[in-house]
Every structure is written in structure tokens, then in C-alpha cells.
Amino acid sequence: STVHILPFFPFSSDDGFSVIDYLEVNPAIGGWQEIEDIAGDFKLMSDLVINHVSRQSRWFENFRNDEKPGKGYFVEADPDEDYSAVVRPRNSALFSSVETVNGERHVWCTFSSDQIDLNFRNPDVLREFVQIVRRYLDHGVSIFRMDAVPFLWKEPGTSCVHLQQTHEIIKLFRTLIEHHSPEALIICESNVPNRENLTYFGNANEAHIIYNFSLPPLLAYTLLAGDCRHLKTWMMSMPPAQLGTAYLNFIASHDGIGLRPLDGLLSNEERDKLVRRAQNAGGRVTYRRAREGYDKPYELNIALYDLLQGTFNGPENRLGFERYICAHAIMLALEGIPAIYIQSFLGTRNDLARVEHTGRNRSINRQTWLEEELESELGDPASVHARVFRELKRLLTIRKKQHAFHPNATQYTLHLGHEIFAFWRQSINRDQSIFCISNVTDKEKSICLADINLISIDLWQDLISGEHYQDIGEYLKLRPYQTVWVSNKSANESSES
């Protein structure tokens, strides 16, 4: 029901995240009319690339010439000061030297020398973004993804991440957006450890939605190891989102699989095991500069389909498709709102040629499709792309009919050993239960239905396979990587109730 279009503005690098002009649509892909047409058919999510702007933007050119708008718009600093406390998401230089009419200046670059950080101490910058948001609303955008928002405010002598001023800016934008369009939403992109990520809900007065950033690496680790203990521990520690807020569940995106959200969840040895598996599957690793001065793995750059074509025991394509579908079946059932990256929907493989062409690790999972090529692949029932697309579409069709999969419906972790990941969802009005049970190993497993406390007077059915269970004392056999959604209501019963 919702489409997220990645940055569609003129840009100079990072596949759109180095914006040259926030108020124009990249003419290579269309114009505002096309954006409005899409918004007419779907809820539309757009990126608000708020932390930085392109070096080629008019604002930065004016900054160099000491002219408005642009004068005072960028964070300047003395590179000889001590910035060891600053949390870095990259291992590139924190500052970039630039010649201006007033001589050499050093500007703050959290992500790259082409992406210059904006100075929100200047109220003119804030006013610019208020106007930008208003324009997006007028063009049909109803969900704003605040990109890289934890780094927004810089304060000397601090970590320059998650500062209180950043949270106040989010609150302000929420107030203004809701005043204009009560149905509009904010989602914060905060690729950080879980405890820090949760702060962006505020007191239900900041982001309406936050990404579940720990899920992608944890779920991948679970399926590669055939062991769900870490995933289960994390899930039990997650507070339910308040009504009116929600988690966004995903397992792949246009960025890599972030590793910082694993802090405190996996050991360094386990994290490194995941890194090696990605490298062995043809992936790349992006690093960040730690406070201690050395580089640490920041994200895995790899197509999810390739990452899951094997386990920690080595490459193994026999069950790769099943492992991949299992990952999505788990994600789709979790408390929150599911999101599927277009490349994952299509089962896209590593695009190593694009990495070679751009020189950027993230290009590995940003394939550009020709319409005819894609239609041909999806038209071939035997192709990986068609098989993945068909099965994920089927799961989504089933899921959307279930009241127990409401973003805020009850979720409770079940304990069926470390090889079976299971949890219970119950609809808000308590009329539907779904027991979501996944075999995370490459071996057949069995569980007794009595162990999950099925109510004997209800009729139980697996929503995915259609199989009915007459005896709640019987054993349920699960194929390698099979998921079942055992419900007391059929798909049609739930959608009609």
C-alpha cells in the first residue's frame, strides 16, 4: 500500500543521497507530475536528506561566494581541534578543505567530501527545510524518511550523535507536518545500536515509525548458523511500540546490512563470522573509524539472496531459495510494518560489474533493470527472479488479510529450542491468534502442537500451506527452513471479520 521512492532529485553522488536541488525532480526519471501520479495510487514515502547536501548545490556555491542563500548554511570547524569523541559512520576524513572568497575553510563531512553537512544552528537552514517539507506535502508525499538524522546537530566536545537538539528538531517537524496533514508520518533512519535507535520514538512525539535495524544482521546470522538464540533474546527485549507508533521491519535495503545495530547482541567473534560469510559470498565490507582510531566493520554490502546461498558451513545452493523465503516469512510476521526492498522482491544477485564501474561498495545491491529484461525474467516461471517474486507476493497477499498481523497486535516469544524460531501474534480485538513457527536449520524438525497451547475448541490451519490440524496433540513436521502460520481463522475469515 506504500511505495518508498529513493531520492528522485538531481544529485552528484551516492545514488541520490547527495542532493543538488531539493525542489526539482531529476529530469532523467520524470517530473513532479509523475510523483503526483504515483501518490494518487499509493501512499508515498520520500527521503528528506536533511543532514547534508551536494557540494555541487547552489547553496554550497553561494557559501563559497559568501552569498545568500548558502552563507552560513554549513558546519565549519578547525581541523586541529580534538574530535576524537565524534562517532563516525565512515573512515573517510571528517573535514574537507574548500576555497572561498574569504580564504580556506574546512567543512564538516560526515559521509563523504561530496556531502557537506548543514548547519542547523542557523535558523535559515531550518526554515529552508520547513518550506521543502511543505512542497513535498503539496506534491502528495505523506511519509517522510529523515535520512541520517542522528548526526544532525554538532556540538564541540561531544559525540555529535543523538544530541538533544536533534530530537527537538524532529519534534518540531512532527508538529508542523501533523498540523498540515494529520495523516502524514515521519520515519527516522537511525542505523545505530538498538537502545539508541529506540530513543527516536521519543514519548510518542518524535518518529511515528523507526527502522528495526538489528533485524537484518540478526536474522541473517540466525539462518546462517541454524541457531535462533540471539534472535530470540533480542526479540524478548524489544518493547512493544505504543499505539500510533510502529517498527519498520526489513532485512535488506539500498544501503548495506548495518553491523552497528549488533553491538551488545553478538560477540565480536560472531560478528566477524558474519563478515567472513559475506565476503565468501562475493560481498564487500564498508568500515567506519572507531573512537580508538582503528577501523571497524560498519556494514555488509551484498545482495541478500547471495548472502543466504549457504551457511557458516560453506556455500550450499540446494536450500538457498528456501532459506531466503524463510527470512522473509519471519520478517513479514513480526510486530510492525514490513518493507521489502525492490531488489529483494526480485531475488537480485550481486552486481559486481556496477561496483567496478562506480567504485562504491553499496552499488552491489543497487542494480538498474531494463523494463524488457525484467519482464522477460518474471515471465519465465523457472527463473529465480520469477520464483522469488511469485512466492513473496503470495505471502504478502496472505499476510494483509490477517488482523493478528496488525502493526500493534500482541507479540509473545515462544520457547521451542534453538533450532525453531517461534512467536505468537494476537489481534487487537483478540479474535485471531497466529503461531508463527520457522525451522531455521537445513534439517527436518518436529514439534508437538501441544507445546504451543492451541485452544482445543478452535479449528487450526496453516495459512501458508492450507494444511488443517485436527488433533492438537499431533506432531508438526517442518521441512528445512519451512515456516508455518498456524491460525484459528482462515485468511478469508480474518479479512471478513
Task: For residue 352, give the 3-state DSSP assignment.
Answer: helix
Which grid coordinates are listed for 232?
A: 530470540
Q: Which of the 8 DSSP states describes residue 115?
A: E
Q: Nearest-CA neighbor of 206 among 148, 238, 167?
A: 167
The residues pairing with 421 across neighbouring beta strands, listed in sequence order, are: 438
Sequence-ordered alpha helix ranges (H) in 266-406:
268-280, 304-307, 320-333, 342-345, 352-358, 371-379, 384-399
Is 82 noted as a catalytic residue in this protein? no
At residue 280, φ and ψ (nearest 5 deg) are -65, -25
**Grid coordinates in use for 394?**
503470495
Q: Is 412 helix (H, G, I), strand (E, B) or coil?
A: strand
Q: Give the 3-state secondary structure percentages of the chain, helix then strand then coil, rounded to 5.
A: 35, 20, 45
The helix-helix angle for 268-280 and 215-225 (nearest 10°) equals 80
How many whole angstroms separate alpha carbon 98 and alpha carbon 319?
53
Joined grid coordinates for residue 228: 535462533
Query: How buried is 313 (Cβ within 10 angstroms: 0-12 exposed, 13-18 middle, 19+ buried)?
Result: exposed
The 10 Å Cβ neighbour count of residue 112 is: 18
The one catalytic residue in 47, 147, 255, 351 is 147
Dihedral sign for Cα atoms in the order 49, 188, 367, 25? negative
Which H/E stretch holds residue 194? helix 194-198
- Cis bond before residue 69 (omega within 30° of 0): yes
Nearest to 330 by CA among 249, 260, 409, 269: 249
Asked if 172 and 195 count as a contact pair (C-beta separation under 8 A), the reply is no
Alpha-carbon span 438 to 485, nearest angstrom: 9
**Hey, is 172 helix, strand or coil?**
helix
How do beta strands 209-211 and 185-188 pair?
parallel
DSSP strand pairing (103-108 vs 95-100): antiparallel
What are 291's three cell numbers?
Answer: 573512537
Bridge partner residues of 211 (DSSP): 248
Torsion of CA 209, 214, 220, 224, to 10 degrees: -150
What residues are labeled active site? 147
